[in-house]
């Protein structure tokens, strides 16, 4: 009996040890532990050139696998269904485009495709693109004006009303698109100046081969244009105008690319194969990286994820401040929130730094409050238009004074409006399952409580429904800042914009935004947008919190991979990727 008990105890201890050992596994790494830095050490100061490896320091050949978090359901990124971040990144090595967004978030001309792209006339506003003579599709057909025209017909709203596009602005302003020099010069004439002309035919709405589209129908008819639009959405491409072409597509599993033999760009791919492996559960990515099943990750940063990556030897990670920014929004259809004083007081009581420290600051110490609605710090034109208003400072005394001066009573206990009506509890919404936003709402409720305002926090399963129906008093969510801020401002802030969910109306601001978007002078446009932002900030309609970071992690032996926080993402420069010879 004694023997049995002893053996049983030993078995128990052994099994427990096994489990605990497994729990602690992978924590090693010693002196080579990855952390913020490594091959990305200089990315904060040199985002466009960090982790550089010249071609002569890269192996010829090899396979690099990127963990892609979404399947490709529609291959046409111009369509509303195909306009998905990971579809854009996976097809980036296949499509030609005029401009892209570099890791420093600056709009940059694609010099592989274009010799030049310039505004050649202010009246009428005219842009002329010169396509390089050597630029061809992988079947040898020149990339030419016809490809621009097909793209334009899809998006201008006139030639293909049935085309379900993602809604890229500016194409409707193009009145004519004419090819010359055998199609290698493309001249776009506009009905009025368009400040963000560089967004047209850019990496978010790239070129598709018109000669293949023409096989689907007559491109001079709406039906033919629509047939081409649908064809490019439903058919995995065997065509390419980029550095790679498709070798194999396994739905829901992986996209395998190989070098395009007709690639005309300056940098020839070093890799034999580039694989986008679909891993839809981001929490599985670090182990796949550790087991060398993938070499490049581009997930949303989370505390656990960042910490897991730090434990993996020979891996570097870097977080960049991205284009998505979180914000608190008021719904001005609530009659109490229609009063500017209450809005100003609530936003003044909000302590943005504390919110950051208690949420995203836990995995990124560099995140700071965002102080502009129109620009982010990486963009020319960014200036602090919020700090002077006191909003986001957490100055409760100042907030109380705003209310007292405006005639409110019960400040700090149970707030009563100047007309004698008690301010009811405000309903604050956030997306179900988003722990960061839940914390942000709870902190907001704490700040409001100090002013005598109660906040009822509830979740929403459908952010789109909630915002578009205005079913909230206060809400927290994120906007993706356009790399082209002038058109972006029209989409977000104009009184009649579909994205102006809280129904903020300011004709003076509308005028400034519209003038900025149609200016031919960039400095003038920037100044006008900042004037509009000052108005918006003073009216306390939306309080920007912070830019959400993006995270890139890579095996240290992979060169030229960088964290590009724009929609171009990690794959903006795949022709440069390679395996370092020194590894």
Residue written as tokens 């293949």?
212
Q: Select 350 or 517, whichever has its Cβ closest to another protein.
A: 517
Sites for another protein among residues 202-221 (CB under 8 A) = none
Q: Select 100 or 479, whichever has its Cβ closest to another protein.
A: 479
Which range, of 23-31, 401-409, 445-453, 571-579, touches another protein by CB under 8 A?
A: 23-31
> From CA 528, how far away is CA 512, in angstroms rounded?
6
Which range, of 17-25, 409-417, 536-544, 546-554, touches another protein by CB under 8 A?
A: 17-25
Distance of CA 158 to the CA centre of its chain: 28
> From CA 542, how far away is CA 481, in angstroms rounded?
14
- Interface with another protein includes 502 (CB under 8 A)? no
Please give the structure tokens belonging to residue 412: 């700090």
Q: Which of 138, 216, 295, 467 binds another protein (CB under 8 A)?
A: 467
Q: Select 185 or 491, whichever has its Cβ closest to another protein.
A: 491
Cis peptide before 124 (omega within 30 of 0): yes
Q: Which of 34, 279, 297, 315 binds another protein (CB under 8 A)?
A: 279
- Interface with another protein includes 166 (CB under 8 A)? yes
- Interface with another protein includes 4 (CB under 8 A)? yes
- Interface with another protein includes 574 (CB under 8 A)? no
Which range, of 143-151, 219-227, 247-255, 362-370, touches another protein by CB under 8 A?
A: 247-255
Q: What is the DSSP letter of 249?
A: E
Q: Which of 56, 397, 419, 461 binds another protein (CB under 8 A)?
A: 461
Q: Select 210 or 294, whichever has its Cβ closest to another protein.
A: 294
Q: Which of 26, 361, 424, 446 binds another protein (CB under 8 A)?
A: 26
What are the φ/ψ torsions at residue 18 (nearest 5 degrees)?
-60, -45
Which range, of 157-165, 438-446, 532-540, 544-552, touches another protein by CB under 8 A?
A: 157-165
Q: Which of 49, 120, 180, 234 binds another protein (CB under 8 A)?
A: 234
Determine contact, residues 527/48, Cβ cutoff 8 Å: no
Q: Select 29 or 410, whichever has its Cβ closest to another protein.
A: 29
Q: What is the 3-state secondary structure (H, E, C) of 132-180?
A: CCCCECCCCCECCHHHHHHHHHHHCCCCCCCCCECCCCCHHHEEEEEEE
Strand (E) or helix (H) holding 65 = strand 63-68
CB of 465 to another protein, least distance (A): 5
CB of 169 to another protein, least distance (A): 7
Cis peptide before 259 (omega within 30 of 0): no
Q: Which of 191, 250, 458, 511 binds another protein (CB under 8 A)?
A: 250
Strand partners, 65: 275
- Interface with another protein includes 277 (CB under 8 A)? yes
Q: What is the 3-state secondary structure (H, E, C) of 401-454?
A: HHHHHCCCECCCCCCECCCCCECCCEEEEEECCCHHHHHHHHHHHHHHHCCCCC
> From CA 517, how far away is CA 496, in angstroms rounded?
16
Q: Which of 293, 354, 471, 515 binds another protein (CB under 8 A)?
A: 293
DSSP 3-state of 122: strand
> From CA 440, how far away is CA 422, in angstroms rounded?
25
Total residues belonging to the chain: 583
Nearest Cα neighbor of 448 from 535, 370, 337 is 337
User: Residues in the site for another protein, rule: CB under 8 A?
Assistant: 3-4, 7-8, 11-12, 15, 19, 22-23, 25-26, 63, 65, 71, 73-74, 80-81, 83, 161-162, 164-169, 233-234, 248, 250-254, 256, 273, 275, 277-281, 284, 287-288, 290-294, 461-465, 467-468, 479-480, 482, 488, 491-492, 498-499
């Amino acid at each position: 009996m004694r023997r049995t008990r002893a053996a049983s105890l030993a078995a128990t201890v052994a099994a427990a040890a096994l489990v605990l050992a497994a729990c602690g596994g992978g924590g090693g790494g010693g002196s080579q532990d990855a952390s913020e830095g490594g091959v990305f050490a200089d990315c904060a100061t040199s985002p466009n050139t960090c982790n550089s490896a010249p071609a002569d320091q890269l192996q010829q050949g090899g396979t690099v696998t990127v963990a892609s978090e979404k399947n490709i359901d529609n291959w046409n990124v111009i369509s509303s269904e195909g306009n998905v971040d990971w579809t854009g990144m996976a097809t980036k090595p296949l499509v030609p485009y005029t401009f892209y967004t570099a890791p420093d978030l600056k709009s940059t001309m694609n010099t592989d495709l274009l010799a030049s792209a310039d505004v050649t006339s202010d009246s009428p506003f005219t842009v002329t693109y010169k396509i390089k003579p050597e630029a061809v599709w992988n079947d040898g057909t020149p990339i030419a004006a016809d490809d621009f025209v097909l793209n334009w017909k899809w998006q201008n709203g006139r030639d293909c009303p049935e085309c379900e596009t993602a809604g890229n602005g500016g194409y409707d302003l193009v009145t004519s698109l004419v090819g010359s020099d055998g199609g290698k010069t493309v001249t776009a004439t506009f009905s009025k100046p368009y400040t963000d002309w560089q967004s047209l035919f850019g990496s978010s709405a790239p070129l598709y081969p018109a000669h293949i589209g023409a096989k689907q129908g007559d491109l001079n008819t709406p039906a033919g244009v629509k047939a081409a639009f649908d064809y490019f959405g439903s058919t995995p491409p065997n065509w390419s105008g980029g550095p790679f072409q498709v070798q194999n597509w396994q739905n829901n599993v992986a996209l395998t690319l190989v070098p395009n033999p007709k690639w005309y760009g300056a940098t020839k791919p070093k890799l034999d194969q580039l694989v986008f492996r679909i891993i839809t559960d981001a929490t599985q990515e670090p182990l796949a990286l550790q087991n060398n099943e993938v070499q490049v990750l581009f997930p949303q940063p989370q505390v656990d994820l960042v910490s897991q990556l730090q434990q993996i030897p020979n891996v570097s990670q870097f977080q960049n401040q991205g284009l998505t920014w979180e914000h608190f929004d008021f719904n001005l259809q609530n009659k109490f929130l229609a009063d500017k004083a209450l809005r100003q007081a609530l936003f003044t009581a909000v302590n943005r730094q504390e919110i950051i420290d208690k949420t995203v600051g836990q995995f990124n110490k560099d995140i700071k409050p965002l102080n502009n609605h129109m620009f982010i710090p990486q963009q020319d034109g960014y200036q602090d238009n919020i700090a002077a208003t006191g909003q986001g400072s957490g100055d409760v005394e100042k907030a109380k004074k705003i209310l007292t001066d405006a005639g409110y009573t019960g400040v700090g206990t149970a707030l009563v409006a100047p007309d004698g009506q008690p301010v009811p509890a405000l309903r604050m919404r956030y997306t179900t399952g988003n722990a960061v936003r839940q914390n942000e709402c709870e902190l907001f409720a704490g700040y409001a409580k100090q002013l005598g305002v109660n906040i009822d926090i509830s979740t929403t399963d459908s952010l789109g429904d909630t915002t578009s129906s205005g079913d909230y008093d206060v809400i927290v969510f994120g906007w993706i800042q356009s790399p082209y801020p002038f058109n972006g401002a029209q989409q977000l802030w104009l009184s009649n914009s579909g994205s102006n969910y809280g129904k903020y109306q300011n004709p003076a601001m509308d005028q400034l935004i519209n003038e900025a978007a149609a200016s031919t002078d960039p400095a003038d446009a920037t100044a006008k947008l900042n004037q509009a932002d000052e108005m918006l900030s003073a009216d306390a309609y939306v309080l920007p919190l912070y830019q959400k970071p993006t995270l890139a992690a890579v095996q240290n032996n992979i060169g030229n991979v960088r964290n590009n926080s724009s929609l171009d993402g990690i794959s903006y420069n795949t022709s440069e990727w390679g395996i370092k010879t020194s590894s």
